[in-house]
Structure 1
């Protein structure tokens, strides 16, 4: 597996893992506070049939940790820079947790010209339950944090020198006793994101509501949810229902008891993703890649 560095338009160096090979690559985006290392099972397990790419976002893992750019929109611009830096004209995108939000922002800002299909893993359309948000709306969108809870969490993370608050927060994403192997990977990677990156990014990420973007998505989409996650399964079904032609798969609790299906059920997860992407390939052979006949209403590509 090759490693490389892509420099973004504002001079930030991002560490990239790339299995190489031809065809349409799968580009994987990790969640808040985590890294591409969590996708090791996919970089290995999916590489026989396709090129697989994962990278550490700014402020995470082995990438630069500057004092600027910790917004979802900037991370979307970084994704554009990665695609351009690697010379990728067409890609399948997989976003887990915050990585899905980065994809939604990318589509809103730059359009879907470079995107063949999406895999969206366990991310609600909205994270923050505003004071005027009804319980029904929160259940539909997956809003899981009240605004006072978010500010208290951010303040606690900012004041915590040992990283114990973040560790506890991530531990709450598991509903059952944590497999030691899985927890070791997750807990080690979360410590690589400094507070100056984690706090503003958490606040910006949580404040977004992507429901207005979902109905404009014009590529094939697989939504993956988990009964054992802190993200409500209903929100994942509602998410798929809002995206034209999307399909949804929910891992049952006895298979996945957390927010990390690609770690807990690696083979099943890889098989699910491979089957979906192979189906997109089959559709492409008939000239039908995008579901629906309407033209995309997402923005045309622009430079940030």
Structure 2
């Protein structure tokens, strides 16, 4: 993938964040999910950079950003996003988070408000990861989440097994060939297991419901949810954020597997937002 610009943005606590951008026009910012990198958004960058200034970043301890032992939580990731937008002089951005990247987006507006935000896109992430109410849209039963944290994320082998299973069972609907699966796993494993555990815990114990409600009231918002939990997600979002638009597509990584359909959904949302 060819980019016009690649740079590192240094945070106040010394981490360097890898940022890529391409195109010109209104800014569109993509934030990858748990342990993933800018590379997964290749098809979005290619499509939207024709009409927008597309910005993608590796959060701290992801991809080509600095691996650090501090700040591996989504409150800090929200502050890191602010540092990137400030350094790049970004105003009026459409911010699009995928999975735990949504937590980064919500934490950003918690801390800095909506003055530099034009619209927000949330890709397949409940605003509160865990819930005792089985009717809520949540990541899963507490016992299952606990087992992942206490068993799978204790070493590199466990992390590799966990992310491989998650990719094949939840993220992608079709059968992947060996090279595709290897590439996806390798993207995730650029974050070491001892950091992945911190991020997992931070994400699972996050509660961004209030920020999600505020976002839906303040700016146009779009939620794109995976098919496997769409019924629960739609009911939940229609109650919590009734002004937010909801679309359903594919698995957890639908923007990669079904990129053309995903890009059309986002393009329609961007076109509607531009008219407001």
Asked whether the two chains share a fold, i.e. TM above 0.5, the reply is: yes
Structure 1 gap segments, 5+ residues each: 284-304
Q: CA RMSD in A?
A: 1.9
Find the counterpart in structure 2 of residue 134 from structure 1: 133
Find the counterpart in structure 1 of residue 225 from structure 2: 225
2:271 is paired with a residue whose SS is helix
Find the counterpart in structure 2 of residue 274 from structure 1: 267
Alignment of 1:1-304 (within 5 A): 1=3, 2-21=5-24, 23-129=25-131, 133-136=132-135, 138=136, 142-162=137-157, 163-174=160-171, 176-180=173-177, 183-217=181-215, 218-228=218-228, 231-243=229-241, 245-251=243-249, 256=250, 258-283=251-276
CA apart distance, 1:177: 4.0
Is the CA contact (8 Å cut-off) linking 1:29 and 1:54 kept in structure 2? Answer: yes
Is the CA contact (8 Å cut-off) linking 1:119 and 1:222 kept in structure 2? Answer: yes
- Cα deviations by residue, 1:112-147 (Å, 9 ceiling, x for unpaired): 111000111111122223xxx2222x3xxx223333
Number of equivalenced pairs: 268
- Cα deviations by residue, 1:172-220 (Å, 9 ceiling, x for unpaired): 3147443337534422211111012100110011011222222222100
CA apart distance, 1:226: 1.9
CA apart distance, 1:245: 2.3
- Cα deviations by residue, 1:13-66 (Å, 9 ceiling, x for unpaired): 111110042x32000011001111100001111111111110100111111001
CA apart distance, 1:82: 0.5
Is the CA contact (8 Å cut-off) linking 2:20 and 2:56 kept in structure 1? Answer: yes
C-alpha distance in 1 between matches for 2:263 and 2:176: 19
C-alpha distance in 2 between matches for 1:135 and 1:48: 43
1:128 is paired with a residue whose SS is coil
TM-score norm. by structure 1 comes to: 0.82
TM-score norm. by structure 2 comes to: 0.90
Greater percentage in helix? 2
